[in-house]
Structures are given as structure tokens and as C-alpha cells.
Amino acid sequence: MRRVALAGGSGRIGAALQRYWTGGGTEVVRLVRRPAGAPGEVEWDPAAGRVDGARLADCDVLVNLAGENIAGGRWTAERKRQLRESRLQATSALAAAVAGGPWRPQVWINASAVGYYGDAGETVLDENAPQGSGFLATLCGDWERATRPAEAAGVRVVRLRLGVVLEAGGGALAKLLPVFRAGVGGPVGDGRQWLSWIGRDELCRVVDTVARDDRFSGAVNAVAPEPVRNAEFAAVLSRVLRRPAVVRAPAWAVGAALGELGRETVLASQRAVPRALLAHGFDFAPGGLESALRAALTE
């Protein structure tokens, strides 16, 4: 693997991937929406469908993380439009460039999420589980389907369904830390909903593995093998922080504060398992959730 084209690399996961790969000698070319200002940048315009495939022709791997932050605000009609367009325009532009231009990477890794499965209760969700219902499930399904032109052109496409990525500087964990450190954290709702998670460094290893191993294609659940209930997550986080976790946030309060966003993320249950990764021998880090949280807090 010599060169990686990275779309959506301005976020914390993208930055972590860049560090991971450049530290190992792999060149990362970032697709940027402003005029390119560095040798490792290529300008693109997803809204206009413009991707300079000729400048990316020697990139072996494409990784697409582009998309507005799902948890960046209440899901108003305008916010939903932004969430959809930011993902579908970017993915469709890349698919057209890969399928119809001079650039044909060996593999395309496209982000998705376990939100694809909707609120699935107690069901164990491997990659063959059906698409669920709701805005997030529909968005993930449409996002994944936007890669099909590249797949039809013979490119190996991996649709990486991410769980909650544990990192102290961003995402769900960053929002929880001040609450738990203040001693007012605890379970949400009845606490029985399942949460599928993965450490940020573990995710980097997953992305690198599926890029290099051509046995991976289609959907891949990027989650740890041990999903936990919301109440267990709260208990482990409180133990790591040495703070109590006894203040339960009732479901009605989450619904009132976050609306549809809260119901489909915080209150939804996704018991996803990494069947594809385990089947192909991916070596998960030992120690489970507690070890992953301690690692995240030392980053």
C-alpha cells in the first residue's frame, strides 16, 4: 500500500488515520474543499461532482469519511438535509470518478454506521442483519448504496459500519466526560439498550487491515466483540474516572432535549458484532471496554 486518498480527513478519526499511516511510511493524500495548499492535498468539489481523478491515479486506496457530524445538533428538516447531502454528494462524486475516470483504486473503504440496523433491541447484529427503520438507518442505507457504481466497475468496496468511537477529544465520549467527572453521570433511559463501541486506535488498525486484505468486501462491522448495555458502559466509565454514576437520565428528558436525534442514537439499541473481522482473524486488543476507555483517556 503506497498511497491513500482520504476524503473527510479534517475530523479526529481522519487525523488519527493520517498519523497511523504516515508513521508507517504510507503517503496520505487529502481531498480538500478549498484550494490545495500543500503537496499532500488535492482539491475537490463534492456538490458539483468534481473530483480530479487524474491527480489520484496512483492512489491504491480510497477512504471516505466525509459527512456532517450526526450528533452536531437537533435533527430539524434543514439539519437532515445537510446530513444527507454531505454524505450522498461526496460519495456519489467519488463513485462517478472511480467508475468513469482514469482512477481505479484497488479498494474503497466507505464509512457507514451501525445506525444502519435501527433500534434492534436484543437482536445480535452481524453484517447480514437487515436494514432497520428511521432516519439514520435510511441515511446509512442510501450512503452505502451510493458506492455501487464503483463496485460494478470492479473495485473492491468495504462499507465500514462504525460503532461509537471512543476518544476523549471528540465524539460521544468527549460529551460524557464533563458530566461524569462532575459526578452527575449515569445510565440513560432504562439503561438496557445495547451500545456497540470501538477504540480509536483499534479502528485505525481495522481500516488498515481491511485495506490490505482482499478477503474483506461489502459490509464490515467496525465494533469491538463485546457490546455492552448502556448501564454497564456508565458503570465502567465511572469506575475508570473514580466518580459515582447514579444520576439516571430519563428517556423522556432525552427525547425532550434531543428529539429524534436522541431517540435514534442515545436511546436506540444496537447489539452489533464484528463477524467479518473475527472470521478473518482480526486480533482485537485485550481488556475490553475498561482497557479501551483507559487508553482513550491517556491520548
At 21-77, the pLDDT tens digits run: 999 899 999 999 998 878 889 999 999 999 988 888 889 999 999 999 998 889 999
Whole-number pLDDT of residue 1: 67
Dist. CA 191–CA 173, nearest whole Å: 17
Confidence of residue 143 (pLDDT cuts 50, 70, 90): very high
pTM for the structure as a whole: 0.94
**How does DSSP assign 94-139, residue by residue?**
HHHHHHHSS---SEEEEEEEGGGG-S-TT-EE-TTSPP--SHHHHH
CB atoms within 10 A of CB 233: 26
Lowest mean pLDDT among 133-137, 285-289, 295-299: 295-299
Confidence of residue 150 (pLDDT cuts 50, 70, 90): very high
pLDDT at 19 exceeding the cut of 80: yes
**Residue 267, phi then psi, degrees to nearest 5:** -95, -15
Cell numbers of 205, please? 488498525
Whole-number pLDDT of residue 246: 85
Mean pLDDT computed over every residue of the chain: 93
Whole-number pLDDT of residue 158: 98
Residue pair 6/29 in contact by the 8 Å Cβ criterion = yes
pLDDT at 299 exceeding the cut of 80: no
Give the pLDDT mean for 278-287: 95
pLDDT at 96 exceeding the cut of 80: yes
Dist. CA 265–CA 70, nearest whole Å: 9
Q: Pick the residue with more confidence: 267 or 102?
A: 267
Whole-number pLDDT of residue 252: 86
pLDDT tens for 223-263 read 999 999 999 999 999 999 999 888 889 898 888 888 999 99
Q: Could you give all domains of the chain from N- to C-terminal order, each with its CATH number?
A: 3-297 (3.40.50.720)
Q: Pick the residue with more confidence: 245 or 107?
A: 107
